[in-house]
Structures are given as structure tokens and as C-alpha cells.
């Protein structure tokens, strides 16, 4: 059987370069270590950022023994890491997203909107005396 060598087209090269550039901008983990006394996972990223996550916040690692967490391997794409002793692979962007979104942004905004002050109470009473909040102009009939 004769195999032919196919050269990539200019379009293929452009796509590969674009994907490589996108990869440089994505969160790329360079190193992952478990800090023993605090039971936290330390992640170092390409841009110099260090993220510390309590193991209790990572479902896959929460009950792991300290001995099981001695070896952590970063994937070649730097987008995930493995803990071979317990056969766990964790996607880094998903981990970061789940940890940072554990306190929902909507809930956080609701906390701000639920605050009351003497000025808000006075304004609410004044609006009530006038018949409440004015109707939206879009809901008025013809």
C-alpha cells in the first residue's frame, strides 16, 4: 500500500495558528499541589495567577486521603489534571467555574436589592400614598 504525504493547506495552517493562540489565552495550569495542613489544592497558571481551593469544595477530592494526593499530573494541554492513585481527572476551567459560581451571582445581587434604609422606607410610603408604583407606559391601552 502506497501512502501519500499530504501537505496542509494555507487555510489549515491558519486554523491551527488560531487554535494555538486561543489556547494561549485559556486558563492553562502549570502546576497543581495539595497543601498538607490546610487540605487545599494550589493551582498555578501560565499568567502567574495562583488559585487555592479547599479540597472540601472539590467533590472528587473531598474524601481522598493525603497519601492519595501526593502525585498530581497536569495534562499536556494544561486544561486538566489527574490524580492517578484514585483515578480522577478534573477539567480545570470547569473546576474554576464551579468553585467561583457556587455562590450564585443572582443570589448575591438579591442580597444587595433586599437592603432597606430609612430613605427607602420613606420613599415607599410616599409612593404608596400616590397609588403605588406608576404603571409602565407600555402597558397602557389605546
Contacts 24+ apart (CB under 8 A), 9-18: none
Domain ranges in the chain are 14-100, 105-131
Taking the C-alpha atoms of 110, 114, 117 and 122 in order, what is their torsion angle to the nearest 10 degrees? Answer: 120
Phi, psi of 134 (to 5 degrees): -60, 145
Q: Tell me which range, 1-5, 20-24, 124-128, is most confidently predicted by mean pLDDT.
A: 124-128
In this predicted model, what pLDDT tens digit does every residue of 91-105 receive, in sequence order? 998 898 888 876 565
Q: Supply the pLDDT for residue 68.
A: 93
Q: Supply the pLDDT for residue 61.
A: 94
DSSP state, residue 69 = G
Per the prediction, the chain carries an average pLDDT of: 82
Q: Where are the beta strands (DSSP E) in 65-138?
A: 73-74, 80-83, 88-91
Q: Which CATH superfamily includes the segment(s) 14-100?
A: Uncharacterised protein PF10387, DUF2442 (3.30.2020.40)
Amino acid at each position: 500500500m502506497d501512502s501519500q504525504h499530504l501537505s496542509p493547506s494555507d487555510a489549515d495552517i491558519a486554523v491551527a495558528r488560531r487554535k494555538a493562540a486561543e489556547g494561549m489565552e485559556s486558563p492553562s495550569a502549570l502546576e497543581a499541589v495539595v497543601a498538607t495542613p490546610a487540605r487545599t489544592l494550589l493551582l498555578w497558571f501560565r499568567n502567574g495567577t495562583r488559585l487555592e481551593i479547599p479540597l472540601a469544595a472539590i467533590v472528587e477530592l473531598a474524601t481522598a486521603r493525603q497519601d492519595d494526593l501526593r502525585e498530581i499530573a497536569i495534562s499536556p494541554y494544561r486544561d486538566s489534571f489527574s490524580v492517578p492513585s484514585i483515578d480522577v481527572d478534573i477539567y480545570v476551567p470547569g473546576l474554576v467555574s464551579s468553585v467561583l459560581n457556587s455562590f450564585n451571582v443572582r443570589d448575591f445581587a438579591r442580597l444587595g436589592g433586599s437592603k432597606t434604609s430609612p430613605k427607602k422606607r420613606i420613599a415607599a410610603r410616599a409612593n404608596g400614598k400616590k397609588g403605588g408604583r406608576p404603571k409602565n407606559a407600555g402597558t397602557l391601552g389605546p
